[in-house]
Amino acid sequence: MGILLHIIAFLASLCQLPTFDGGLSFQKTLTVDSLGACQGASFLDGRVCLYGDREVGMIRTYTIQQDSLAYTGQEIRLTEGGKDIINHPTGIAYNPDGPTFIGNSIRLNPEGTKWRAVIYMVDWKGLLRTGTLDGNLLNTIADDACIQGTRPEYVQYGNKAYVATADYGDKANEVRLYDPALLAKAKKTSEPGVLVKKFTCSSWVQNLHWIPSKGVLVLIQNQIEGRRWRFTFLDLNKSIESGKEQVIKTINVDKADELEGFTLLNEPGMGIAVTSSRHNNVHFVHLDW
């Protein structure tokens, strides 16, 4: 009987593993201006946040109107005392019950062997209210555990929230999970206890998107450096346990520009993908699960 129960439990666990047999279809393409090169998208508290690297790093918020975006008039300049602080935002890790972090990734040489990677803890409500980092920048953390850049995103593992991030380059790439409570107090991510788990992943990761209802982490990637689109859907639990990305499905898209970000919206399967192009930079897409 004991063996039978173990077999039943194992089969039940297989039924719960993330699956994705569908594809991705395009619904509508828009040009959204005033972003500079768009670096990513997040859907937070019913609004779309698009962030870019205009003359300063900035975030603009939008509401969804059918298959389009309406600018709310709210612009956040990622400056402090007028100085450009988060000049190249790469990822917003937002948790209503925990600290909010924004990533900043700067390539310091053409070879991509030197990076300035910083994670900033911010007062998100204050940031939305005042529109700058003044009084809202709570901590500055050097992401020295990274290899090539930082792009924070909250994920769930073992009934606990972690801040995940990933590298961009073409070798030694990792997804790393940081303890948010320790990260909030740290000055660098290499401090004891901040890094909790990690696993190796494929190249050219521009951003991450967590799908909690599926247990799936999406690597938002380029097929080659800075060009062509790739979405890689990972089983997060199995990836962490094996130490290597466990791919459920990879979708390559025949578009030549630089995919930067992706987020699902409140409609199941509907999302937006953004690129660094100045025109046709926001795409409504649908995931067919």
Q: What is the pLDDT of residues 8-20, one digit of tens each?
A: 444 444 445 566 5
Determine the Cα angle at 77 with ends 231 and 80, to 5°. Answer: 120
Q: How many beta carbons lie within 10 A of that of residue 73, not counting itself?
A: 7
pLDDT, tens digit, for every residue of 22-38? Answer: 689 999 999 999 999 99
Does some domain include residue 16? no
Does some domain include residue 59? yes
Does some domain include residue 58? yes
Average pLDDT over residues 35-44: 97
CA 239/CA 233 separation, integer angstroms:
11
CA end-to-end span of the chain: 37
Domain count, the chain: 1
Q: What CATH code is carried by the domain that includes residue 234?
A: 2.115.10
Q: Is 43 or 21 the better-scoring residue by pLDDT?
A: 43
Q: Determine phi and psi for 208, rounding to 5 degrees.
A: -125, 150
pLDDT band at 111 (very low <50, low <70, confident <90, very high): low
In the chain, where does DSSP find H-type helix?
A: 2-15, 124-130, 180-185, 236-242
- Give the largest Cα separation in the chain, rounded: 70
CB neighbour class for 288 (10 Å; exposed up to 12, middle 13-18, buried from 19)? exposed
Does some domain include residue 29? yes
Quote the tokens at residue 68: 């389009």
Average pLDDT over residues 172-192: 97
Domain extent, residue 93, equals: 22-287
Does some domain include residue 169? yes
Report CA Rg, the chain. 19
Does some domain include residue 4? no
pLDDT, tens digit, for every residue of 127-153? Answer: 999 999 999 999 999 999 998 889 999
CB neighbour class for 47 (10 Å; exposed up to 12, middle 13-18, buried from 19)? middle
CA atoms within 13 A on the CB side of 148: 22
Does some domain include residue 197? yes
CA 83/CA 62 separation, integer angstroms:
25
Does some domain include residue 145? yes
Determine the Cα angle at 66 with ends 265 and 92, to 5°. Answer: 30
Q: Report, in this order, helix, strand and coil percent for the chain, each rounded to 5.
A: 10, 50, 35
Specify the pTM. 0.91
Quote the tokens at residue 223: 């097929």
Hey, which of 162-176, 229-243, 265-279 has the most confident mean pLDDT? 229-243
CA 175/CA 200 separation, integer angstroms:
6
